[in-house]
Chain A
Amino acid sequence: METAVLERSPEVATLDVLEAQLVDARRAQAQVDDKRLHSSRSQETEVERLTREAYAQAQTAYGTELLADQLQEAESEAERNSLVAQYLIDEFRALQEERETPTNQDLFQRAKRLGRSALRATGVWLSRGNRGTQIVKSALVTGVASVFFGALGGGIAAAGGMAAVRYGKAYASGISKDVETHHSSATELTEALNTHEYETVHAVFEHAQAVLQSEREAHIDATQERNTKARRQALGAMVVGAVIGTTAGSLIHYGSDLWTTAAHAQEIGGTHVATGLADGVHETTGTVVLPHQPAGDVAGSHATIGEVDTVSHESTGTVVIQEHETAGTVEGSTGAQSAETTGLVGGVHETSGKVELDDVETGYTTTGEVEGMHETVGTIEGVYATTGTIEGVHETAGTIDGTETPEVLVDRGVFTVEAGNGLIRENIQWAEASGYDVPNSVMEQLHHAEVEQFGAKGIIDLQNYEQDIYMHGTDVRINAPDEAVWREGVVDFKVQWLSEHGYHPDGGDITADGTMAEVDSDVEVGDTSIETTTEVPSVQSGEGINSFVARNYDYILTPEQSIQLGERLHAEGYAYSNNDFQDAYGNPYGFRETGKIDVGMDAIIQDMVQHGTVEVAAHEPTFSAEDWSRIEGMLAKAADRDMLSDLAAYDQPLMDGVGERLQNMYYADGSPVVSFTDGHWSFNDSEHMLPQDALDAIHVYLNENDTVAEKIQRLTKML
């Protein structure tokens, strides 16, 4: 065997001295790494370069001495390369340990702990929408501490006023933990080394260090990007908290840059004019006797346990009453005896007296009991939902608008099956044409019900093209783009099914023949009095979660894998663990077993496994690091898929721009990623992942056309 020449370090005799030098160099390297990771510089400074080179030299000097005998006895170049690779990988881990200081770890863990409550609450919202959208949402709330602090500002305020900065600290420290990027294993590094020939062992070290350095640069870039976002979030948390007052618990008024408390524990004399923020708990235990004129918005809990003698209580802004409890006597124009609200009314409003509402223009939701006279003298527009019990007289003397709907026929005519469309897509188009506003996931459920009711070929009449209707899994697909009609009974079935699931075209009623019922506008109720003790049923919620539960997945993951993945996702801050949901909401949705990942997340992983993007070896009870890396990668890809879906929904010009790039690209089942109709591109969603060339095209397009800030804004639309 021809082996590379081994040079022993010429300057140092003992291993101990070399090791001491390596330890020093490693420590120096860890320090500059920390500094660089917290900066936004992509290029290393001269000091950083020199430190890196010194560290590399120390690695080589100690390594060649430590491994001298083994390198000499190596029977092949591959064995020699393997020795060097293993040594450098071990050294890399030592550097990582050096960098993970106890302080940062403590802060990180603390932020994690604090953040969990918020994640639990966020989990329900996260579970809405389709699977990829959930991932996007999850990415948005991965900054757990920030969400937590924003959500529980009031509670924090009660504990003290040192708010926003501390929140930012926890957030920034927590998220400053290194991003996980790919690092070669000793095996991978050896394989890389084996592709070259080397004249000296130093050259082997040099090449190996270059490979690892390249990975470090990628790691630094990824971590810097995340840290930059963390700093921005921290800065935003502090500023938003200061300006809005929510994070700081509403105890702080910054209207004149002054920090003043809003709790008045004594009598207030003189004019109290709040021209700035007047949020939060406003407790008056004394007597307010002079004009109280908030020129801004008043929000929060306003509890008066003493007498309020309001000579003139004028609110020119929005009055938001969350919990307005008056235990004393209120004299004036505002109070429980006669409460007139000309602005927005929201939140829990418990009144034991008379409430007069003038022109309530938005949703008025009473979640508590309304006892006594409830009088509406103005116009009610919008949704009026009562989930509690209504007892007493409910008088409406005004006009009720909001139910007027023109006559609309559901679509029963000939339609065109576009290339690549399946019946789910046709159903969606039918619903849109018929005036329905139904989520695609519901239309998918309708489709499955139709297949069950009529069979695959009993839904549409393709006129002599029956052979082109075929089943793909549980979906009906159509080969031949052509005109078609719904078969007899199918439209009625759709209408009936949607009605049973609470969907009506344009919010109106549907007659038996499928037409929209005409509803009179401006219903004059006059002095009608309605006495009722009927309990109004609660609105069903959590449909998003239930729809996931309803999906029939063949679970591929072993229970051990599921639990392991759930724990890992939970630890990483994803709100996908069953525990996150269950701790906050009990188990209303029939989650399967404590500790496992939740059903939505499970579905994603199942898809990945089914499509071969994650290969789970049946004999392996747990995920390997490589599995985990692939899962995270696929989560990102799934997020990309839904970003495109969001773009299609909210930004047609952008969709049109990217649509051209995506033509002639197809999912794994052969269906096209985009379609072109009426001069516009549309995105065809699929259970399959976007092909890599589509992802690349999307990223190229975005990078060409958007600034980063615009991109962030566009891609974080409200979904």
Chain B
Amino acid sequence: MFQLDDAFLQDIGLGAMPDDQKQAFLQHIYSELELRVGTKLSEGLSDDQMSEFEAFIDRDEERVNTWFTQHLPNYAEQQDYQQLQNSAPETATALDILSEYGSLKWLEVNRPDYRQVVAAELDTLKDEIIKNKDTILG
């Protein structure tokens, strides 16, 4: 789909940017995209919904289990969960895997349009960069 790399910079007309600034600029774009996507996705979400999300972030076992009990009690039988479990690193705990899986499922429940949001915000960001590329390079 997309990767933030030199080719991306070429694509948006910033290929002439000095090499030593490319990586930093890409990092900035990535961070900016994260914030914009997060801002957009969090619009309309209540404190309680965001709190649910934080439970996965915080690996809050009790709240993670509660969420699965309410929303996806048979998660262990899900093919994608099993694949996630199988491909997880050895150091990952059961709670790590469950939290990772839960955060994605939480997204599907609360913001099923998240892919479109990322795509839209990315397009906006690219447009802005292209529009301002001369100044950025200046």
Q: Within 8 Å CB of A277, what residues of B?
A: 1
How many Å lie between the Cα of A333 and that of B119 in the bound state?
32
Partner of B18, one of A147, A160, A173, A539: A539
Q: Give, as a whole number of angstroms, the nearest-CB distance from A41 to chain B.
A: 7
Q: Report Cα–Cα, A442/B129, bound state, in Å.
A: 22
Decide yes or no whether B68 CB sits under 8 A from chain A. Answer: no
The yes or no answer to A565 lying at the interface (CB within 8 A) is no
B49-84: which residues lie under 8 A (CB-CB) from chain A?
A: 50, 53-54, 56-59, 79-80, 83-84
B128 within 8 A of partner (CB): yes
Bound Cα distance A238, B41 (Å): 11
- Give Cα A172 to B25, complex, Å: 23
Given A297-B3, A383-B15, A344–B10 Cβ distance below 8 Å? yes
State which of A233, A539, A713 has its C-beta within 8 Å of the C-beta of B34.
A233
B41 touches A235 (CB 8 A): yes
Within 8 A of A (CB), among B24-41: 24-41
Kindly provide the distance from the CB of A507 to the nearest chain B CB, expressed in whole angstroms: 11
Report B-chain residues with C-beta under 8 Å of the C-beta of A38.
Answer: 54
Cα–Cα distance between A522 and B83 once the two chains are bound (Å): 56
> Contact: A541 with B3, CB < 8 Å?
no
A257 contacts partner chain B, Cβ-Cβ < 8 Å: yes
Residues of B near A716 (CB, < 8 A) are 32, 35
A250 to chain B: which residues have CB within 8 Å?
A: 3
Return the chain A residue nearest B104 by Cβ. A242
Give, as a whole number of angstroms, the nearest-CB distance from B59 to chain A.
7
Question: Given A122-B28, A151-B27, A232-B38, does the pair A244, B118 have CB atoms closer than 8 Å?
Answer: yes
The contact string, 1 if C-beta is below 8 Å from chain B, for chain A 343-385, is: 0111110000000000000111101000000000000001101
A121 and B24: CB pair below 8 A?
Answer: yes
Residues in A whose Cβ lies below 8 Å from that of B20: 124, 541-542, 585
Question: Once the chains bind, are B89 and A161 in contact (CB under 8 Å)?
Answer: yes
User: How many B residues have CB within 8 A of the partner chain?
Assistant: 80
Report the separation of the CA atoms of residues A277 and B118 in the bound assembly, to the nearest whole angstrom.
14
Cβ B135 vs Cβ A719 within 8 A? yes
A385 in contact with B28 (CB, 8 Å): no
Q: Which of A165, A364, A367 is B19 in contact with, Cβ under 8 Å?
A: A367
Q: A41-B47, A122-B27 are in contact. Are A231 and B42 (CB under 8 A)?
A: yes
- For B2, the chain A residues whose CB sits under 8 A away are 244, 279, 297, 299
Known contacts A244-B3, A362-B10; decide if A236 and B37 are in contact (CB<8 Å).
Answer: yes
Q: Which of A146, A160, A260, A279 contacts B31 (CB 8 A)?
A: A146
Pairwise interchain contact A232-B35, C-beta atoms closer than 8 A: yes
Residues of the A chain whose Cβ atoms lie less than 8 Å from the Cβ of B43: 709
Chain A, range 240-257, C-beta contacts under 8 Å to B: 240, 242-246, 250-251, 254, 257
Query: A297 and B1 in contact (CB under 8 A), knowing A162-B100, A234-B57?
Result: yes
A299 touches B138 (CB 8 A): no
Report how far A643 CA is from B57 CA in the complex, Å: 33
Docked Cα-Cα span, A261 to B100, in Å, equals 16
Enumerate B94-138 residues with CB–CB distance to A below 8 Å: 96-97, 99-100, 103-104, 107-108, 111, 114-115, 117-119, 124-125, 128-129, 131-132, 134-136, 138
Q: Which of A41, A121, A168, A322 lies in contact with B7, CB distance below 8 A? A: A322
A242 to chain B, nearest CB (A): 6
The residue in chain A whose Cβ has the minimal distance to the Cβ of B37 is: A236
Give A714's nearest chain B residue, CB to CB: B128
Cross-chain contact of B114 among A163, A243, A296 (Cβ < 8 A) = A243
Q: Closest 6 A-B residue pairs measured CB to CB? A: A363-B15, A236-B38, A346-B7, A160-B89, A125-B24, A541-B18
Give me 6 other A-B pairs in contact (C-beta within 8 A), A257-B80, A297-B2, A348-B6 excluded: A231-B53, A232-B35, A276-B1, A299-B2, A542-B18, A718-B125
Which B positions have Cβ atoms within 8 angstroms of A? 1-11, 13, 15-16, 18-21, 23-43, 47, 50, 53-54, 56-59, 79-80, 83-84, 87-89, 91-92, 96-97, 99-100, 103-104, 107-108, 111, 114-115, 117-119, 124-125, 128-129, 131-132, 134-136, 138
**A residues with CB within 8 A of B:** 38-41, 118, 121-126, 128, 137, 140-141, 143, 146-147, 150-151, 159-166, 168-169, 172-173, 228-229, 231-240, 242-246, 250-251, 254, 257-261, 276-277, 279, 296-297, 299-300, 318, 320-322, 344-348, 362-365, 367, 382-383, 385, 437-439, 539, 541-542, 585, 649-650, 709, 712-713, 716-719
Interface CB pairs A-B, < 8 A, 27: A122-B28, A125-B27, A151-B27, A160-B91, A160-B92, A162-B89, A162-B100, A164-B103, A165-B100, A228-B42, A232-B35, A232-B38, A233-B38, A235-B42, A236-B37, A240-B33, A242-B104, A243-B114, A243-B118, A258-B80, A277-B1, A346-B6, A382-B15, A383-B16, A541-B19, A709-B43, A719-B132
